[in-house]
Chains A and B, each alone.
Chain A
Amino acid sequence: MIAYLIRRIMYAIPILIGVNLLTFALFFVVNTPDDMARMQLGIKRVTPDAIAKWKEQHGYDKPLLYNAQAKSSGKLTNTIFFEKSASMFVFDFGYSDDGRNISREIQTRMMPSLAIALPTFFVGLLIYITFALLMTLFRATALDIAGVALCVVLMSVSGLFYIIGGQFMASKMWHWMPISGYAGGLDSIKFVVLPIIIGVAGSVGSSSRWYRTIFLEEIGKDYVRTARAKGVSELRVLFRHVLKNAMIPILTGVVVVIPLLFMGSLLTESFFGIPGLGSYTIDAINAQDFSVVRAMVFLGSVLYIVGLILTDISYTVVDPRVRLQ
């Protein structure tokens, strides 16, 4: 198991280098440091001197990928690419364009993101699976058909509608919840309830339908027929046999998402004015702050890879037949 984990982590390194190369190519080759300097300085003050100075200040006064003038290994290390990406591997993201330490920003903004993402995730999982189990229990009856129809309608509604509609209802009609903003500590509860409800409602359609398909796949198998033949009640079949055996496909889809919860939700956070990582990213996108976007891309892919590894480990927990080697 340990050997397996180490090997997986080693595999992650070339992938992360690939991610870095890609974002680097996107940002620096299409948009050269000269262009960045011009954009940051504004049109009026653009002189060659000013550009050179800006580049020096921000560490862009080196060749992009390959430094022909440097010696031996310096040919590769004394470049913008190496300097900007090597530090990322130890999670030092440098400074954003307005001079703040990105790593510290990420640390402080993580909590609000988690305060919304974690409850949304777990409450959602509970509701979706319950709904899907109910549909499976009443399968091929009018209730099931109505449930599936409802799911299809819900999944055809734009996510923006849930957010805008929910925000409007809460603010105009009920007056019991702040529409946006955030406070630390226990006060945060009243700020996060609405985003959580909307987050859960937003994917109830697609998720429940997906779980229903998984359960239906299992319920057609022989062991279920055997259990029923033994006289096990239908509810017990569902919970003890079907749910347990459906765990592998469920985990495949679910565990990958858990680490990404840190990233928050771009839309929800910016709509509700929550100072989390999602709104941080959106602000950076709108301000064209590339160092922040690059940091978030890197963080996102690290978390995704962690998610993949966690998925494999979770298989060993639910299915004793799986051994990681």
Chain B
Amino acid sequence: MMPVILWTDALIFLLIAVGIASAWWIRHRPHLMLPWQRVARSSVGMVSLLVLSLFIMVGVLDTLHYRAALPEKNNGQTVYSPEVLSAFDALVSGLRNRTEKTYSAPLAAYLYAKESIETPDGKLLRDYPRLKFGGAHLDNPERELAGDVFKRTLLGTLGGLLVALLLTGGVVKLYPATRKSKPMGAVFIAALVISGVIGAVANLTLAYHVLGTDKVGQDVLYLSLKSIRTGLVIGTVTTLVMLPFALLLGVAAGYFRGWVDDVIQYIYTVLSSIPSVLLIAAAVLMMQVVIEMHADWFDLEAKRADVRLLCLCLILGVTSWTGLCRLLRGETLKLREQEYIQAAQAFGVSSFRILTRHILPNVMHIVLISVVMDFSSLVLAEAVLSYVGVGVDPTTISFGTMINAARLEMGRDPMVWWALASAFGFMLVLVLAANLFADAMRDAFDPRLNRTEGVT
């Protein structure tokens, strides 16, 4: 086994490191903890955080990439498979490997299309063949399927609930304070429901394709889970690459004014005056041309797809930093007239120190709010861009590529609806959780909003 670190992996690790470091930093500073404690008091915020962290867990597992060693050796040297897998793939290898021939409906035991089957007495029959894995343990699927599915769902749910009860029981035992707080009650109930669902689905996947299979027979549940990483990368890495630009330029324009302000305003007016879809499309087109012409840069297909994903993030970042930059400029313009800044200037404190010690901490809430607000729109944008043909690499599994592939099958009769429904469903849950969490964070961090909420 050889670990592989792709570009986006490295950036995700960086992001996790930054997250842990800032959590450590905030922990011992009560005034920074305050808004977070406000978030922790919101039921909706905490439940959506729970859902989000499940998604993040899948995404992070899917980020630990490696190449498996092949059994045969070349002159004593280990040969590695060209296929890049992740820890998540290894974890759900059953889902990944049990591929059927083509489409099959969710929880089906038969293939979607008719085929010629040879009966034991030598005759050819045109019928729906049995699936290789879905419901293969049943002797007579027509009669036994419903009962078997019911039994497995029930057992799985019970198992999931049991695990959840043990876990939450442990948490309550360790932190008795959680027993009384209101959001924790909601979180416990949500945790129970989620683990029940996960238990049921996990138990069913052992014998069925819970969400059906796609055109080449891949399990749709597996594809949906793999798409999560792409969505998370687009939503977070984009912000990570645009943040330095927006922060530096926005604060500099507001603080220094004069010609610095003019130049920076000119740059962002130019960028924002181009319709963003067109700018993204144009940039992605150029990137595609460059990557196609330099196929020799990448020794693995996964690396090429990954660089494309990274470039998409960069491009989305370049086109989306202007909004935040404008907000930061406005806020800094206001802040620099405050007395404490003028006092600092009068004392001869250097501009750099004023910016880092006084201005930056005071605009951080704007940055945080806009980062979480942008996340959901970026996840949605990925699907649209992939549909238009300027999104991720076609070999990258993402919600956009899933929708694109499934869309072509809408006209078939009976309809192949499951791939579309799963992609939209997973995306809805992810974006909804992100939106609700963003709202909770905005309520907690925005001082202005709190006041108006109080009046109404």
Instruction: Give A residues with C-beta under 8 Å from B.
Output: 14-15, 18-19, 22-23, 26-27, 30-31, 35, 39, 139-140, 152-153, 155-161, 164, 168, 216-217, 219-220, 260, 263, 266-267, 270, 281-282, 285-286, 288, 290, 293-294, 296-297, 300-301, 304-305
Contacts and interface: CB of A to CB of B under 8 A. Distances in A.
Contacts, number: 121
Given A152-B432, A159-B380, 20 more contacts: A19-B274, A26-B286, A27-B282, A31-B286, A35-B289, A156-B435, A159-B384, A160-B383, A160-B384, A160-B424, A164-B407, A216-B452, A266-B388, A267-B388, A281-B278, A293-B281, A296-B278, A297-B274, A297-B279, A301-B273
A23 B384 contact: no
Nearest to B411: A171
B5 interface: no
Residue in B269, B271, B278, B390 whose Cβ sees the most chain A Cβ within 10 Å: B278
B50 interface: no
Interface in B410-456: 410, 420, 424, 427-428, 431-432, 435-436, 439, 452, 455-456
Interface in B372-399: 376, 380, 383-384, 387-390, 399
Contacts of B456: 139-140, 216, 219-220
Interface in B180-218: none
Nearest to A293: B282
B403 A260 contact: no
Given A152-B439, A157-B428, A285 B281 contact: yes
Contacts of A152: 432, 435-436, 439
Nearest to A39: B289
17 contacts: A15-B270, A26-B286, A35-B293, A152-B435, A155-B435, A157-B428, A160-B387, A164-B403, A220-B452, A263-B275, A266-B277, A267-B387, A270-B388, A281-B278, A293-B282, A296-B278, A304-B273
Contacts of A31: 286, 289-290
A15 B273 CA distance: 8
B274 to A, nearest CB: 5
Interface in B271-328: 271-275, 277-279, 281-283, 285-286, 289-290, 293
Contacts of A270: 388
Nearest to A11: B269
Nearest to A155: B435
A14 B265 CA distance: 12
Contacts of B340: none
Contacts of B410: 164, 168
A160 B178 CA distance: 41
Interface of B: 266-267, 269-275, 277-279, 281-283, 285-286, 289-290, 293, 376, 380, 383-384, 387-390, 399, 403, 407, 410, 420, 424, 427-428, 431-432, 435-436, 439, 452, 455-456
Contacts of B455: 220
Nearest to A266: B277
Given A156-B428, A293-B281, A300-B278, A305 B273 contact: yes
B270 A22 contact: yes
A23 B383 contact: no
A42 to B, nearest CB: 14
Residue in B277, B293, B432, B455 whose Cβ sees the most chain A Cβ within 10 Å: B277
Nearest to A36: B289
B270 A156 contact: no
B403 A160 contact: yes
A188 to B, nearest CB: 24
A285 B384 CA distance: 14
A156 B269 contact: no
B289 A282 contact: no
Contacts of B269: 15
A14 B432 contact: no
A66 B409 CA distance: 52
A267 B286 contact: no
Nearest to A151: B435
A158 B390 CA distance: 17
A30 B292 CA distance: 13
Given A157-B424, A164-B410, A285 B389 contact: yes
Contact of B424 (A22, A161, A260, A281): A161
Contacts of B286: 26-27, 30-31
A30 B283 CA distance: 10
B389 A286 contact: yes
Contacts of A294: 282
B278 A297 contact: yes
B18 to A, nearest CB: 27
A294 B274 CA distance: 11
A225 to B, nearest CB: 10
B355 to A, nearest CB: 27
Contacts of A301: 273-275
A217 B431 contact: no
Given A27-B282, A31-B286, A297-B275, A156 B376 contact: yes
B420 A158 contact: no
B410 to A, nearest CB: 6
Nearest to A161: B424
A161 B406 CA distance: 12
Contacts of A159: 380, 384
Given A35-B293, A152-B439, A26 B282 contact: yes
B435 A18 contact: no
A18 B380 contact: no
Contact of A300 (B275, B387, B431): B275
Given A168-B410, A266-B277, A217 B452 contact: yes
Contacts of B452: 216-217, 220
Contact of A304 (B275, B427, B428): B275
Residue in B267, B273, B281 whose Cβ sees the most chain A Cβ within 10 Å: B273
Residue in B279, B383, B403 whose Cβ sees the most chain A Cβ within 10 Å: B279
A127 B305 CA distance: 43
A26 B273 contact: no
Contacts of B388: 266-267, 270, 282, 285
Contacts of B399: 158
Nearest to B423: A158
A34 B443 CA distance: 55
A282 B277 CA distance: 10
Nearest to B286: A30
A296 B279 CA distance: 10
B432 A260 contact: no
Report the 4 A-B pairs with minimum CB-CB distance, sorted nearest first. Answer: A18-B270, A300-B275, A220-B455, A156-B432
A158 B290 contact: no
B289 A158 contact: no
A14 B285 contact: no
A270 to B, nearest CB: 8
A220 B277 CA distance: 37
A140 B289 CA distance: 54
B301 to A, nearest CB: 22
A300 B435 contact: no
B235 to A, nearest CB: 13
Residue in B286, B376, B390, B424 whose Cβ sees the most chain A Cβ within 10 Å: B286
